[in-house]
């Protein structure tokens, strides 16, 4: 990672002002990696701002940025003329509508699989073998050996540990790179802040949503699906959290939680689907990409969205939900069967190849 860290600095040093853009929902991994990137840029005399498309909805995430004083911009009226380039951390695609045609992408750093929706970047680091983007940015810090003040380094380390923790499901799915990053961060992070963030209980709204899920369970073979109807945009992150909770408490190999997200103030409506699996053989990224390009996944978790703005003011909300629910359930069932059918076909092909190889040797 030493070479990649040097290449990153070489790329960003060509610019004086850079926009760090977080597409979609800003989770702790995206926020932490963006903040550390901002600090690295500042160290090299480069101005930057962190912009998030959507506001935070989980209390834990809000407490996270409040305690560490991480500056995020949410204003939709973003002035692109302030910047010379942009960076995308922790997102499969670096192609940003209304940004990519105005600014060059100087860097794209992510730990998800490749996306077809891409633009050229001066520097690109895509490592699916990392459990989080925070892992990759931590290794930049390690190998760059920048002389940050102790307090600044502690805040960065605390944020990055929380980012790694969140995206590796509390260290249940970590690899070699994650271990290396955590070894570097362990003595730098503020353990008291981490403890306080992790001690925040689920909100009453989250618990109510989780209880509702039990009544909406739709089981198909070893998968389970939960359609939650309409949810205000302020609670959209609860869908992903609910998917995490239900997978841990159920015996199903894969679960999907979905709802229609509404934001009347912004004129937005979209279907949001969060998938979680405990199976190493279920490729959620591949499953999602077969459904839509607007989403993606990595090992054990993924999500996708479908734009429904046209139906925001429908007078037939119940009928619309019935259609959306039935279509989503059919799509997910078909995805499950296609996955296992392909697995059986591959197994048969391997057995056939080995059998023919034995015959050839005779």
CATH of the domain at 211: 3.10.310.30
Please indicate, yes or no, whether residues 253 and 156 belong to a single structural domain of this protein: no
Percent of the chain with pLDDT over 70: 93
Q: Which of 14-23, 65-74, 207-216, 346-355 has the lowest mean pLDDT?
A: 346-355
Kindly report the average pLDDT of the chain as a whole number.
88
pLDDT of 344 over the 50 cut: no
> Is position 342 within any domain?
yes
Q: Is residue 167 part of a domain?
A: yes
Residue by residue, DSSP assigns 143-154 as: HHT----HHHHH
What is the distance between the alpha carbons of residues 314 and 310, in angstroms, rounded to a whole number? 8
Domain end point (choices 147, 182, 198): 198
Residue where a domain stops, chosen among 178, 198, 218: 198
Pair (103, 45) in one structural domain: yes
In this structure, are 252 and 147 located in the same domain? no
Task: Annotate 188-255 with DSSP letters as a single string.
Answer: TS-HHHHHHHHTPPPPHHHHHHHHHHHHTEEEETTEEEEEEEEEEGGGTHHHHHHHHHHHHHS--SEE
Q: What is the mean pLDDT of residues 12-19?
A: 97
Q: What φ, ψ does residue 225 adopt, rounded to 5°?
A: -125, 150
Per-residue pLDDT at 354: 53
Does the structure show a pLDDT above 50 at 347? no
What pLDDT does 266 receive? 84
pLDDT at residue 351 is higher than 60: no
209-265 residue pLDDT tens: 877 777 889 999 999 999 999 999 888 888 888 888 888 888 899 999 999 999 988
349 pLDDT exceeds 60? no
Let me know whether 256 and 164 are in one domain: no
Same domain, 113 and 149: yes
Whether pLDDT at 177 is above 60 = yes
- Considering the domain architecture, whether residues 187 and 275 belong to the same structural domain is answered as no
Q: Is residue 316 part of a domain?
A: yes
pLDDT of residue 352: 47
Overall average pLDDT of the 356-362 stretch: 54
Give the percent of the chain with pLDDT over 90. 61
Instruction: Give the CA distances from residue 256 to residues 20, 31, 170, 220, 335, in Å, rounded to whole numbers and listed in that order.
Output: 31, 25, 20, 11, 12
Specify the DSSP class assigned to residue 124.
E
Q: 12: pLDDT confidence band, cut at 50, 70 and 90?
A: very high
* Residues 188 and 211 both lie in one domain: no
110 and 51 co-located in one domain: yes
173, 138 contact by CB (below 8 A): no
* Number of separate domains in the chain: 2
On whether both 180 and 257 belong to a single domain, the answer is no
CATH of the domain at 162: 3.90.1640.10
Is 299 in the same domain as 339? yes
Mean pLDDT, to the nearest integer, of 273-278? Answer: 94
Q: Domain range spanning residue 283?
A: 204-346
In a domain, 213, yes or no: yes
Same domain membership, residue 209 and residue 194: no
In this prediction, residue 345 carries a pLDDT of 46
Residue 253 to residue 41: CA distance in whole angstroms: 42
Q: Is 189 inside any structural domain?
A: yes
The pLDDT of residue 314 is above 80: yes
Residue 226's alpha-carbon distances to 176, 216, 217, 324, in angstroms, are 34, 6, 5, 13
Give every CB contact of residue 46 below 8 A, 6+ residues apart in sequence.
12, 13, 15, 16, 17, 18
User: Tens digits of per-residue pLDDT, 277-296?
Assistant: 998 889 999 899 999 988 88
Is the pLDDT at 70 greater than 50? The verdict is yes
18 shares its domain with 52: yes
H or E stretch covering 329:
helix 317-361
Checking if the pLDDT of 356 tops 60, the result is: no
Check residue 341 and give its pLDDT: 63
pLDDT at 357: 59
């Amino acid at each position: 990672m030493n070479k990649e860290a040097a290449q990153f600095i070489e790329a960003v040093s060509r610019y004086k002002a850079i926009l760090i853009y977080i597409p979609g929902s800003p989770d702790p991994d995206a926020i932490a990696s963006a903040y550390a990137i901002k600090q690295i840029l500042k160290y090299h005399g480069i101005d930057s701002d962190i912009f998030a498309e959507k506001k935070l909805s989980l209390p834990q995430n809000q407490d996270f940025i409040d305690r560490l004083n991480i500056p995020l911009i949410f204003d939709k009226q973003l002035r692109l003329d302030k910047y010379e380039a942009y960076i995308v951390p922790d997102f499969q695609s670096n192609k940003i509508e209304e940004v990519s045609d105005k600014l060059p992408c100087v860097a794209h750093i992510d730990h998800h699989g490749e996306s077809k929706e891409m633009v050229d970047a001066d520097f690109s680091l895509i490592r699916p073998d990392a459990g989080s983007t925070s892992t990759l940015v931590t290794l930049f810090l390690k190998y760059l050996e920048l002389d940050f003040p102790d307090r600044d380094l502690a805040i960065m380390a605390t944020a990055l540990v929380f980012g790694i923790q969140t995206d590796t499901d509390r260290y249940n799915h970590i690899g070699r790179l994650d271990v290396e990053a955590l070894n570097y961060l362990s003595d730098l992070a503020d353990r008291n802040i981490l403890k306080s963030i992790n001690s925040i209980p689920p909100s009453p709204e989250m618990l109510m949503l989780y209880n509702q899920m039990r009544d909406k369970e739709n089981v198909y073979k070893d998968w389970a699906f939960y359609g939650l109807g309409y949810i205000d945009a302020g609670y959209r992150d609860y869908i992903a959290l609910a998917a995490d909770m239900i997978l841990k408490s159920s015996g199903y190999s894969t679960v999907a939680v979905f709802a229609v997200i509404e934001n009347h103030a912004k004129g937005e409506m979209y279907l949001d689907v969060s998938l979680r699996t405990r199976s190493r053989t279920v490729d959620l990224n591949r499953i999602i990409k077969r459904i839509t390009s607007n989403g993606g996944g990595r090992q054990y978790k993924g999500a996708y969205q479908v734009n429904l703005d046209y139906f925001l003011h429908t007078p037939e909300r119940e009928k619309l939900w019935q259609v959306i629910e039935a279509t989503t359930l059919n799509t997910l069932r078909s995805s499950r069967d296609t996955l296992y059918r392909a697995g059986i076909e591959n197994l048969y092909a391997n057995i056939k190849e080995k059998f023919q190889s034995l015959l050839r040797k005779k």
